[in-house]
Every structure is written in structure tokens, then in C-alpha cells.
Amino acid sequence: MQFQIQVIVTQDDGTDLPPIEVVTLQRTALTPETVGLTLADGKLILSSIQATMTQAQVVVYTDAQQACSICHHARTRKGLHHLVYRTAFGTLSFPSPRFYSCPCTPQTSRSTSPLATLLGERTAPELSYLETKWASLVSYGVTVDLLAEVLPIHTHPATIQRQVHHVAERVEQAIAAAGPVSIEGCPAQWGRLPQPDEPLTVSIDGGYVHARTDTQRKAGCFEVIVAKSIPTDGPSRCMGFVHGYDQQPKRRLFELLTAQGLQMNQAITFLSDGGDTVRDLPLYLSPEANHLLDWFHVSMRLTVLVQGAKGLKREETRTSVLADLDRLKWFLWHGNLFRAFQVLEDLEAAVDEEQPTTEGKKITKWVHDFRRYIEINQPFIPNYGVRYHAGEPITSAPAESTVNQVVSKRMVKQQQMRWTMRGAHLLLQVRTQVLDDQWRRTFTQWYPGLQTAGGSVAAA
Ligand SMILES: [Zn+2]
């Protein structure tokens, strides 16, 4: 059996152009593999129809552009270029004529290329959306393979990366244009605001990715900061940036909160891991903010200390240190810092005596570090016990850590992955929107035509 696929173009005046043969498919005996279309047939049909359709569209467009828009006289053609345009159904080459500007009206340039101006980005929005979405979830190389497997396109990891940077820069322009954050209004105005939503919880955390520079393949690490806002009801939202690269971290966090509908009279709790890069970020963003050290990070550090204490050789010291750590945890849980520091002093004295052994040296350092950590974060340590019993947030755990979800899964898990600060930062801007299910929405804001994409008429 033979199947012919033709395209019939019906012009705006209602007349049909002669049918254009697109693809002819042969089928012999019916087998499971030859029921209907194969993936290869599908790609061939899509790319052939795409080429046929776009050719007709471009001819009509450029013909219409030849006439001067003011006096309607035909403009003289100056030359013809070929314009390469990437779409989800193939890379196309269009004839793009250049016309002299019409002498009827003074013009800024002597000639114009209407098609080159219209298709200035050289990549169709829908392809750009697909490429950047997948590149935010899997590596650039896997994105290339994935798209080539299902669509008639062949691209290169470097092209995908360029596309990610291009669209992420567009996201960044909006942040830059918004400028620094300032809290609007005054307490009297906030008092008149409508009853706010339930409290908002925001966790802020940092993680590390392997660095490279343009000249150095291995260049240590740099820090990535992520935040996730968790409303009492509704979906959570996240954001991320590269510390030291981003110029507008406060604005970024503020945008995240306003996207969640934050009002100035709304209670908000910031939970952080106590690192100095994340501690100051949420300050002065909301008059109703509460800043806390995430209990998860306190208890993780205590767990490390307990593991270290179990390795101590002298049983007497081991028992007393473990008992002290137990008390320390209890005091910290109840926000009793006065007693917590007393216990820490006892602990320091006890482990100091173990100094000569390797285990002793290790735990002595850990205890000193922990004391420093608690000292620095004193203002952010509440009575966790009371909050917990009142049903107020004290930790963003046990939900998957935001660092793992936003950063590690894409940027750290494969050990050979190395990033420039700019590359990591830009990818994060796409990835957070994809994870929040906002990426398509961003594209439809940029390209409203995507929303009603097609305007197609189904065959009867
Ligand atoms: Zn004219």
C-alpha cells in the first residue's frame, strides 16, 4: 500500500494553490513495527510540512513588504540573503530580500531587510522553550540527544547552552530593571491592608558547585544560594543565585515573596542554615519577618558531634561528653542559650584533656566550631520546643533539601561537571522557573502568540 501526503494552500482570497506533494510512504505486510507511522516517518512528515508551510508564509510576507508602507510604491530590491531559522520541526533557510528605503519619506537607513528584522532571534520561541526547559533538567548533551530522538532537529550542546544564556539574560533584565528593594508604605498603611494570608515560611540555604574559568578547567568551588518559600496553602516557589556573581540577591528574594502574594502585614518566617552568606539576605525585607536558625542544621551538627564523641578512647570521658551533648541539645531545643554555653564550656574542658589522641583533636575542633556557630547565630535561636508545640515552623526538613532539588541534582551529581559563575547563575534562573512550573508562562508573556499557538482547524 502507498500513502501520499499533500499540502493544499488556501490563500486569503479563498482560492487553492495546486497540491504540493510532501511525503509518500510505502507499507507492505502489517507488522507491529509498521502499524501507522514510525518515529522516522513522523520526523520526515513534520519537517516536510514545516518546510512547505513556512515557504508559502515567507513568500507572502516578503511580497507584501516590497511595497512602501507609506506611498505603496514597490521598493527596489538591493540584494538577497539566506536567513537560517531554527524551529522545532527543522532548521530552515529562507530567502531574505533587502529593499532600498523609499525616497518618498526621509529614513534613518538606506535599506532594510524586513524578514531578518521580523525573525531577529533566529530561533522559534517554541524551540527555545523546549531546549531551555530540558537543558535545565538534564545536561546539555542529553538535551541534544533527547530532542533529536523525537523531533527532526540536530543541534549541538554549545547551541543549547547559548540559548539558555540568551533567555536567562532576558529574565535577568527584568530583575535589573526593578532596581534595589525598598519596603513600601508605613505601619499605619500596613494596618489598613486586608487581612493577610496565612504565614509564609521561607528556607534559605547554600551549596557548592565545582568551578571552572575560561582559562582554568579546575578552579575550586563557588557558593550557590537557594531559597524556597512555602505558603501554608498552595504551591511552593524557589529561587537561586550564585553568591558573589549576582548583584541583586535581595531583589530576587523579594520577587519570590511578592510572587507568593506577600503583604507587608503578613507574618513570615525565614529559616536559614546560619552561614554568613545567607544570614543577612532576608533582613529588612518585611516588617513582620521572623529570622530563625533552621533546627535541622543545628541537629545535624549535633549528630556529627555525637558520632565524634563515640570515637573517644577513654570510657569515662566518652560517657560524660555524650551526656553533655544530650543536655546541650535539650537546652538548645528550648532556646536556653545561657545554659547551653555553660555546657559548651564543660564540653570544651572535657575534650581538651583528650587532645593528644587523633580522635581528641578532631572532636576538640568540632566543639570549638560548634560553639562559634551558636555564638554567631544567637539572635536567631528561638525556643524551638514552644514553637514546635504551637505548630509554628522550626525547620524546612524533612522535605527534600532545596539545595539538593535546585542545585545538586543538575549541577553537582556528575562529578566532572564544572561551571563558570555566569553559566551556573543563568542556568539556575531557568531551572527554578521550570521546577516551579512557571517557564511556559514566562514564554507566553514574552510571546503572547504561543498561548493560542496554531489557530489550527481540525479536519472534520
Ligand atoms: Zn514610499
Spell out the SS3 assignment of 322-390: HHHHHHHHHHHHCCCHHHHHHHHHHHHHHHHCCCCCHHHHHHHHHHHHHHHHHHHHHHHCCCHHHHHHC
Same structural domain for residues 78 and 151? no
Q: Does residue 117 lie in a domain region?
A: yes
Q: What is the pLDDT of residue 450?
A: 87
Same structural domain for residues 128 and 118? no
**End residue of a domain, out of 56, 88, 122:** 122
Q: What is the pLDDT of residue 120?
A: 93
Q: Does residue 387 lie in a domain region?
A: no
For 37, phi then psi, to 5°, come to -90, 145
Whole-number Å distance, alpha carbon 120 to ligand 1 midpoint, is: 24
Q: Does residue 399 lie in a domain region?
A: no
Whole-number Å distance, alpha carbon 93 to ligand 1 midpoint, is: 29
Same structural domain for residues 9 and 110? yes
**End residue of a domain, out of 350, 380, 410:** 380
Same structural domain for residues 78 and 21? yes
Handedness of CA 120, 122, 125, 128 (dihedral sign): negative
Q: To which H or E segment does residue 237 belong?
A: strand 237-242
Same structural domain for residues 142 and 69? no
With b for 16 or more beta-carbon neighbours within 10 A and e for fewer, the 446-459 pattern comes to ebeebeeeeeeeee
Whole-number Å distance, alpha carbon 278 to ligand 1 midpoint, is: 60
Distance between CA atoms of residues 217 and 66, nearest Å: 51
Residue type (1 letter), 459: A
For residue 405, CA distances in Å to 240, 294, 353, 389 come to 11, 18, 42, 29
Same structural domain for residues 305 and 321? yes
Q: What is the pLDDT of residue 177?
A: 86
> What is the grid cell recorded at 287?
516588617
Distance between CA atoms of residues 433 and 174, nearest Å: 14
Q: To which H or E segment does residue 133 belong?
A: helix 125-137
Q: Does residue 33 lie in a domain region?
A: yes
**End residue of a domain, out of 81, 97, 122:** 122
For residue 308, give its domain range: 297-380
Same structural domain for residues 70 and 154? no
Q: Does residue 313 lie in a domain region?
A: yes
* Angle between helix 421-435 and 157-178 (nearest 10): 80
Which residue is listed with cell 508573556?
445
Long-range Cβ contact pairs of 74-83 (< 8 A, separation 24 or more) = 75/99, 75/100, 75/101, 75/102, 76/100, 78/111, 81/113, 81/116, 83/115, 83/116, 83/119, 83/122
Same structural domain for residues 323 and 307? yes
Whole-number Å distance, alpha carbon 74 to ligand 1 midpoint, is: 8
Q: Does residue 385 lie in a domain region?
A: no
Same structural domain for residues 157 and 76? no
pLDDT tens by residue, the chain, 460 residues: 999 999 999 998 999 999 999 999 999 889 998 899 999 999 999 999 999 999 999 999 999 999 998 899 999 999 999 999 999 999 999 999 999 998 888 888 899 999 999 999 999 999 999 999 999 999 999 999 999 999 999 999 999 999 999 999 999 998 888 777 766 667 677 667 776 667 788 888 888 899 988 787 777 899 999 999 888 778 889 999 999 898 888 888 888 888 887 777 788 888 888 777 777 777 767 777 788 999 988 999 999 999 988 888 888 888 999 999 999 999 999 999 999 999 999 998 888 877 777 777 888 888 999 999 999 999 899 999 999 999 888 887 655 678 888 888 888 876 678 899 999 999 999 999 999 999 999 999 999 988 765 555 555 4
Q: What is the pLDDT of residue 190?
A: 66
Whole-number Å distance, alpha carbon 75 to ligand 1 midpoint, is: 8
Whole-number Å distance, alpha carbon 375 to ligand 1 midpoint, is: 76
Length of the chain: 460
Same structural domain for residues 112 and 93? yes
Pairing assessment for the beta strands 268-272 and 200-210 based on DSSP bridges: parallel
Q: Does residue 155 lie in a domain region?
A: yes
Cα of first residue to Cα of last residue in the chain, in angstroms, is 24
The domain tally of the chain equals 3
Whole-number Å distance, alpha carbon 67 to ligand 1 midpoint, is: 8
Distance between CA atoms of residues 232 and 193, nearest Å: 19
Distance between CA atoms of residues 308 and 346, nearest Å: 16
Same structural domain for residues 62 and 84? yes
Around ion ligand 1, residues with a beta carbon closer than 5 Å are: 68, 70-71, 102, 104
Alpha-helical (H) ranges within 267-314 are: 276-279, 295-310
Q: Does residue 226 lie in a domain region?
A: no
Same structural domain for residues 353 and 373? yes
